[in-house]
Amino acid sequence: MTNPPAPPVLRAVDLTRSYGKGQARFDALRGVSLEIRRGESLAIVGKSGSGKSTLMHLLALLDRPDSGRVEIDGQDVGAASAPAVNRLRNERFGFVFQQFFLTAGQTVLENVSLPLVVAGVAPRERRRRALATLDALGLADKAGNKANDLSGGQKQRVVIARALVNEPDLIFADEPTGNLDTATGHQVEDLLFGLQRERGITLVVVTHDEELAARCDRRITIADGLIVGESDAAASVISEGAGR
Amino acid sequence: MRATDVITSATRNAFRSKLRTTLTVLSLFVGAFTLTLTTALGAGVSDYVTKQVASLSTGDVLLVTPATTTDTTEGPTEYDPDGRQQSSQANPLGGGTLMNDDDLDSIAAIDGVDRVEPIRSISVDWVASSDTSIDTRYELSVNPTSSIGRSDLVAGAQLDQEAEDAQVILPEDYVDALGYEDAGDAIGRTIELGYSGADRSERTTEATVVGVARTSLLASGAGANQALTTEIADAQAVPGQPDAYAVAVAYLTGSGGDGTVTDDDVAGVKVALADADLAGQTVEDQLGVVQTIINGIIGVLSAFAIVALIAASFGIINTLLMSVQERTREIGLMKAMGMSNGRVFGLFSLEAVVIGFLGSALGALAAIGVGSAISSVAAAGPLAALPGLTLLLFDPLSVALVIAAIMLIAFLSGVLPARRAARQHPIESLRYE
């Protein structure tokens, strides 16, 4: 692994996380270290139960590790206060989930505005930015539709618009194409990688889809809570045993 | 998240499940409706009693009665031929002991007492008009306490207690019966009063009508001034019997500005009366008992409304818990996007407050509508005998208080579900199916 000139946008150092106690104790992560460079796309792959989702949650500051630390721009966020972490997630992260998580009864515009509502942006500004983002994704004509009335591909594009509306520098995508058919999945992938290249957004994708992982600049493979493989897409060389 | 956004979101969320919200609002509605009505009933009756007190009392009089003896340790009291007499009949205003002229003298001697007049019960057999075409005789009762204060007048003036001539204030329903055109027409007319003397002889006397009074809960019958009362009482007094009075009225001189009687003046005279083995009460003191009873009844009625509200608050808790459950993933998403626990709490507790406001405002409005209708029907029908009584009095302040109290109850009910929402872990919420 080569050292980038700039500090990595996200660095994880020896993360561990377990759930449950005693007999029921399950070690989801058993010491994971990785660096994510600004503007790159990283695929975290692994079977279900491998710990890849747990790793993404820790990287996205949705959860705290039992040990180890997460650094953003070289700053340890373990010591940061809850409001500071909330603000960090709100201002710098975007989330794309497999299950969309759109509020069915609300319009597309309202759904896309949600991060701005949470941020406390004024209604007029909110509307302007949400419409601009929808326009960029070719969804401007759907702004007034109820989220429920859209097709799967349209929903996922709305979710991407929602992830983009606060102009994040990191997007976490958890199985972004898992609920879509192949053709629609490809469109969504094209959209995500296009945004990553055009806007210089760092993209972290959790997937078990080989094809999607292959399109990323880099991939790490997780098994049983450890990184078992890391490769550059271009080289497609798998180096073994980054973990223990 | 902005405060205005929290409020609008909470309001919209409250209406997401319309039927559920409506049912919860209805349960609050019942409580708010009842509580508004009972408060209005209390206010209405209290207001009536207060008005009656104001109409009765001039504020500068004390009703004086012999102090009730509580002394039981010293055995039988030695007979004193000049002492007070015992009454042979129960008197609702005083104890069994009667005051004598010595007592009146000692009251008059108290600093701050202008003059003292004994209240003497008189009985009049009939009244008839002396100057209209109608000469039917009607029964008439004279209110013994009419000399204490004022009447609630329809027309004319109050009695002049110090006037030489005999004056009466007639109840309103005598105006027609005695053949006067209206209340105003009766003023200044002369009426004839018939009564029996102590020797059972039939006597008559004449008096001038100075006022016409509304029928009042606390002062029924006609009013007679001191001159008329004295004349009839003297004729009805049993010869040879020393004068004895159950109640006397002490008129006070005020030390306040413009000669008004202050609370300190009243208190001072009360102390002096107590020293003379007498007890003084203002009209307000006497009516305080009535007020206490009314407040007790209203309190019990309101307690039922509170019970209804407590039941309704469980409804709110239930509704919101379901709401939190349904929106688990939405809460997780908002938290992932950086919404703080405090804002999530605010969102859900405000939803409870919105439900509380709806229920209480609708309940209060309905209570005002229905109550006003009941009030006017009652005033025209069963309560027609008590003019001036608004059975249900809706005071904007107390209605606002009822609404605020119910919103507070709703907020408190929302605390548990809102805390549950606030404490949800974003990841677990997002995984929730």
pLDDT in tens, A106-147: 899 999 999 999 998 999 999 999 999 998 888 889 889 998
Q: How far apart are the first and last CA of chain A?
A: 17
| Cα–Cα distance measured from residue B367 to residue B28, given in angstroms and rounded to the nearest whole number | 13
Domains along chain A with CATH numbers:
10-240 (3.40.50.300)
Q: What is the pLDDT of residue B406?
A: 93
Nearest to A232 by CA among A59, A56, A37: A37
Q: Is B243:B206 a contact under the CB 8 Å cutoff?
A: no
Please state, in angstroms and as integers, the Cα–Cα distance from residue B74 to each residue in B70, B275, B278, following that order: 11, 20, 20
3-state secondary structure chain B: CCHHHHHHHHHHHHCCCHHHHHHHHHHHHHHHHHHHHHHHHHHHHHHHHHHHHHHHCCCCEEEEEECCCCCCCCCCCCCCCCCCCECCCCCCCCCCECECHHHHHHHHHCCCEEEEEEECCCCCCEEEECCCCCCCCECCCECHHHHCCCCCEEEECCCCCCCCCCEEEEECCHHHHCCCCCHHHHCCCEEEEEEECCCCCEEEEEEEEEEEECCCCCCCCEEECHHHHHHHHHHHCCCCCCCCECEEEEEECCCCHHHCCCHHHHHHHHHHHHHCCEEEECHHHHHHHHHHHHHHHHHHHHHHHHHHHHHHHHHHHHHHHHHHHHCHHHHHHHHHCCCCHHHHHHHHHHHHHHHHHHHHHHHHHHHHHHHHHHHHHHHHCCCCCCCCCCCCCCCHHHHHHHHHHHHHHHHHHHHHHHHHHHHCCHHHHHHCC
Q: Is B255 on the interface with A (CB under 8 A)?
A: no
| DSSP β-ladder status, A202-207 and A41-45 | parallel
Preferred mutation among A48, A99, A117 to probe B, highest tally of B CBs within 10 A: A117
**Which tokens go with B335?**
């938290």
Partner residue facing B337 (CB), from A99, A115, A122: A115
Closest residue in A to B431 (Cα) is: A99
Q: Is A107:A143 a contact under the CB 8 Å cutoff?
A: yes
Determine whether the interchain pair B340/A115 forms a contact, defined as Cβ–Cβ distance below 8 Å.
Answer: no
B344: phi > 0 → left, psi -120 to 50 → alpha, else beta; which? alpha
Closest residue in A to B328 (Cα) is: A101
pLDDT in tens, B343-359: 999 999 999 999 999 99
pLDDT in tens, B289-311: 777 888 888 889 888 888 888 98
Q: How many CB pairs under 8 A join A and B?
A: 57
Q: Is A135:A59 a contact under the CB 8 Å cutoff?
A: no
Q: What is the pLDDT along chain A (244 residues), one digit of tens a residue?
A: 455 456 788 999 999 998 888 888 888 889 999 999 988 999 999 888 888 888 999 999 988 899 999 999 888 888 888 889 999 999 999 999 888 888 888 899 999 999 999 998 999 999 999 999 998 888 889 889 998 888 888 888 899 999 989 889 999 998 888 888 888 888 888 888 988 888 889 999 998 888 888 889 999 999 988 998 888 765 444 444 443 3
| Cα–Cα distance measured from residue B57 to residue B59, given in angstroms and rounded to the nearest whole number | 5
How many CB atoms are closer than 10 A to CB A203? 24
Q: Residue A89: helix, strand or coil by DSSP?
A: helix
Partner residue facing A63 (CB), from B1, B337, B427: B427
Q: What is the pLDDT of residue B91?
A: 52
Nearest to B307 by CA among B25, B30, B23: B30
Closest chain A C-alpha to B353 CA, distance in angstroms: 21
Higher pLDDT, B215 or B311: B311
Angle at A135 between CA A99 and CA A60, to 5 degrees: 40
Determine whether the interchain pair A120/B340 forms a contact, defined as Cβ–Cβ distance below 8 Å.
Answer: no
Q: What is the pLDDT of residue A242?
A: 40
Paired residues of A35 in beta bridges: A11
Closest chain B C-alpha to A163 CA, distance in angstroms: 9
Q: Which residue has the tokens 């009426």?
A: B191
Domains along chain B with CATH numbers:
3-54+289-431 (no CATH), 121-244 (2.40.70)
Helices B328-336 & B283-326 angle (0-180, nearest 10):
80
Partner residue facing B336 (CB), from A62, A82, A123: A62
Paired residues of B222 in beta bridges: B142
Please state, in angstroms and as integers, the Cα–Cα distance from residue B308 to each residue in B35, B67, B81, B276, B409, following that order: 9, 47, 64, 53, 12
